[in-house]
Amino acid sequence: MGGVRFRSPSTGRSIRAVLFDTFGTVVDWRTDIASAVAGYAERHRLELDAAAFADRWRDRYQPSMEPIRSGAREFVTLDTLHRENLDAALLESGIDPSDHDAGELDELSRTWHELTPWPDSVPGLTAIRSDYIIGPLSNGNTSLLLDMAKNAGIPWDVIIGSDMNRIYKPHPRAYLHTAQLLGLHPGEVMLAAAHNGDLEAAQAAGLATAFILRRLEHGPHQTTDLAPTGSWDISATGITDLAAQLCAASPG
């Protein structure tokens, strides 16, 4: 890798790897999940607001990980949690999942493997990759992230899934073990994310940070993460903007 690398004001180190939160930052989960739910509902003649159901399914994401982060539950993959959360969201919607074919529900849950990148994601990642190691720093398991990358043409150099760290963000080990697996000091790793809470945890673990604005991650009425709330190293309007700012780095 050539070129001048960005020197992080917060860590005092030159960045060697730029890693990305994936759901919401790199890919548009809500549009694809709502579309898949709408198709399922139409086939089975279910009265469902697909977008609201997608939100309900996603709302269970962080709470379902908390018993694992706390040690109350052994680690299971995000695929397992997504499938469990689908059943719970169906029940919450007045639909008994036991009345539906388990294989079809498994297939619906696999939609999380096939999400579409935001329009700027692939060109921005391709540009960043010329000078930095890039990969996901995600709660997704390795097979999920691999399928997503192959399906969407996401040009990762490396994929370290949560099943390799055996813990979920924002637990510090999720950030620190990823850096360790790359053979890097935490301060040489930058997390880019659309979620201020993720960046706060990464910064506390010693990583550099970049905020990526995604105004529509949660739909047109989004009220959270519309601006950076911390002293992150970079604030960008998208991944191509992040690439431009990294490429404009001057020698430290």
Please report the pLDDT score of residue 153 as a whole number. 97
Per the CB < 8 A criterion, the answer to whether 117 and 214 are in contact is: no
> pLDDT band at residue 250, thresholds of 50, 70 and 90?
very low
Identify the DSSP state of 231: -
3-class DSSP assignment, residue 240: helix
Confidence of residue 252 (pLDDT cuts 50, 70, 90): very low
- Whole-angstrom Cα distance, residue 83 to residue 86? 5
Measured CA to CA in angstroms, residue 160 lies from 10, 148, 228, 244 at distances of: 24, 13, 26, 25
Tokens 């604005």 belong to residue: 213
Q: Which band of pLDDT confidence, cut at 50, 70 and 90, is reported for residue 133? A: very high
Domains defined for the chain, CATH in brackets: 17-28+116-247 (3.40.50.1000), 30-113 (1.10.150.240)
For 157-198, the pLDDT digits (tens) are 999 999 999 999 999 999 999 999 999 999 999 999 999 999
Q: Is the pLDDT of residue 141 over 90?
A: yes
Tens of pLDDT, residue by residue over 25-34, are 999 999 999 9
Bin 210: left if φ > 0, else alpha if -120 < ψ < 50, else beta.
beta
pLDDT at 212: 98
Q: Say what the pLDDT of residue 31 is.
A: 98
pLDDT tens-place string over residues 84-103: 999 999 999 999 999 999 99
* Structural tokens at position 35: 């579309």
pLDDT bracket for residue 4 (50, 70, 90): confident
Query: Does residue 148 register a pLDDT over 90?
Result: yes
Q: Which residues contact 119 (CB under 8 A, 6 or more apart)?
A: none
- Encoded tokens for 123: 């060109």
Kind of pairing between the strands at 189-193 and 208-212: parallel
Mean pLDDT for all residues in the chain: 96
Tell me what pLDDT residue 248 has: 85
The DSSP result for 90-144, as a single string, is: HHHTT--GGGS-HHHHHHHHGGGGSPPBPTTHHHHHHHHHTTSEEEE--SS-HHH
The model carries a pTM of: 0.95
pLDDT(67) > 70: yes
